Structures are given as C-alpha cells and as structure tokens.
C-alpha cells in the first residue's frame, strides 16, 4: 500500500507570491490534516478535511487555505507569502480522523 | 487546549545503551502516537498507543492513560536511532475541535554515538 505522498518536496518562492502544495493520502483514508513545522513553534496544526469538508482549523491567518477533492487528495494554498511562512509543511492521513495518523515526507518551503 | 510535555529535551547516548523518553499530557486522550522524525523531515510512525503496552523489536511503549503519561523505551540503541522523537495526542474532551488534530510535544533530540 502506497504511503502519503506530498508534492513538491522543495519550493523556493518570493515574498508576496502564492503557493499550492499537494497531498495524496493512503488509499481508503478520508481524513487529511496539514501541519506546519518551524524551529521556533514546533509542529502546529493547520486544518483537517474529511469528505471534502473542512472539519477543523488551527490558529493561522486566512492566507492559509485548503481543499479536498472527491478522491480525498488535498491541496493547501498560501497566498501573499511572508518570510515567516518558510517551514516544513507536513500532511497526514487517517481512516477517520480519530485513528492513527500517517505522515508524508513533507514539502520544504523557503520564502526569500 | 491539551498540553503535551516531553522529557528530556536532549539525550546523548553511546551505542548499546538503553533509554526512556517520557510524554506527559494534560487531559484525557483518544489517540496517542510516538513518531521518529528522520533527517529528511518525515515523521515515521512508531506506535499508536492510547493505552497499554506495545513492543516492536528494540522499541516498546507504555501509556498509563489514567495518570496521563506515556513512555517510549529504546533498548540497545544504534546510531540509526538518532533523530527527534515526538509524542502527539488527540484530546478526548475537545469535541469537534479535535478532529484530525494532533497536538505535539516539543520533542526529544536523541543522539547516539558509535
């Protein structure tokens, strides 16, 4: 069974641009969550999608958004990038959001 | 929200030594997981252990839910065990605000020297 796949693995963007990250969950998993990891703040929850609906959202500004498609694949978008958005973005999938979560390899975003 | 504290923050061992990592959490949990973050950033699942004891090779974990802590044991450590170990929980009393949300501790940085 294939694991969680995130693309791209690395990105370099300029301040003010926008970026879209993609996550393909494990087959059969309908819950997809996104996390941001920075040296200063650690791992922080961004949002969770289940059956194309956002069920939960962390404490991030509206520049951070996401969506989920009918095949459970998910994308997250960050608009008007700031230097502080430089981070490792991790996606996790689970069967129902209340079982064990499995993480992808992450997308490392650098904003210059 | 639920708080998660891990100790120690740093641990340095010689190859072959045993170690115990601790995770304390502030409220009841539905889910508790231990992860190892590899040098490329991926979080590798070690255990899904909201309660009880599990073993996988040289690693074992115990969660005492009533006392709100979990322990990860690493025996006969190897240099490949180096990295950051995270405990993450899903609070049971958070209602809908817990959907898909794991709250992570700050991690334990383990360094194993040959």
What is residue B98's predicted lDDT score, i.e. its pLDDT? Answer: 67
For residue B101, give the nearest of A33, A90, A102 by CB distance.
A33
* CA–CA min distance B92, chain A (Å): 10
Higher pLDDT, B97 or A47: A47
Of all residues in chain A, the one with the smallest CA distance to B107 is A42
pLDDT band for position B95 (50/70/90)?
Answer: low
Q: Is pLDDT at B96 greater than 60 in this prediction? A: no
* CA–CA min distance B97, chain A (Å): 6
CB contact under 8 A, A56 and B40: no
What is residue A2's predicted lDDT score, i.e. its pLDDT? Answer: 83
CB contact under 8 A, B33 and A101: yes
Taking only the tens of pLDDT, chain A with its 112 residues reads 789 999 999 999 999 999 999 999 999 999 999 999 999 899 999 999 999 999 999 999 999 999 999 999 999 999 999 999 999 999 999 986 456 899 999 999 999 9
Disruptive mutation site among A35, A57, A93, A101 for chain B (greatest number of B CBs within 10 Å): A101
Percentage of chain B exceeding pLDDT 70: 94
Q: Is pLDDT at B93 greater than 80 in this prediction? A: no
* Residue A45 with chain B: CB contacts under 8 Å: 100-103
CA dist A82 and A64 (Å) reads: 11
CA dist A14 and A67 (Å) reads: 23
* Residue B41 with chain A: CB contacts under 8 Å: 37, 88, 90, 105-106, 108
How much is the average pLDDT of B7-32? 95
């Amino acid at each position: 069974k294939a694991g969680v796949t995130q693309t791209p693995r690395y990105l370099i963007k300029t301040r003010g641009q926008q970026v879209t990250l993609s996550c393909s969950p494990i087959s059969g998993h309908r819950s997809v969550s996104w996390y941001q990891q920075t040296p200063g703040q650690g791992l922080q929850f961004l949002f969770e999608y289940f059956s194309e609906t956002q069920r939960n959202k962390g404490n991030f500004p509206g520049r951070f958004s996401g969506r989920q498609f009918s095949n459970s694949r998910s994308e997250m978008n960050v608009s008007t990038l700031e230097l502080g958005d430089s981070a490792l973005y991790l996606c996790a999938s689970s069967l129902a959001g209340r079982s064990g979560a499995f993480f992808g390899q992450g997308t490392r975003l650098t904003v210059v | 929200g639920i708080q998660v504290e891990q100790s120690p923050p740093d641990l340095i061992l010689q190859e072959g030594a045993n170690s115990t990592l601790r995770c304390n959490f502030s409220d009841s949990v539905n889910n508790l997981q231990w992860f190892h973050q590899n040098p490329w950033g991926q979080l590798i699942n070690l255990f899904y252990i909201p309660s009880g004891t599990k073993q996988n090779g040289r690693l074992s974990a115990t969660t005492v839910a009533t006392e709100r802590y979990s322990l990860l044991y690493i025996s006969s450590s190897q240099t490949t065990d180096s990295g950051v170990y995270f405990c993450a929980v899903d609070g049971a009393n958070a209602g809908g605000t817990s959907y898909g949300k794991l709250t992570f501790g700050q991690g334990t940085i383990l360094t194993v020297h040959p």
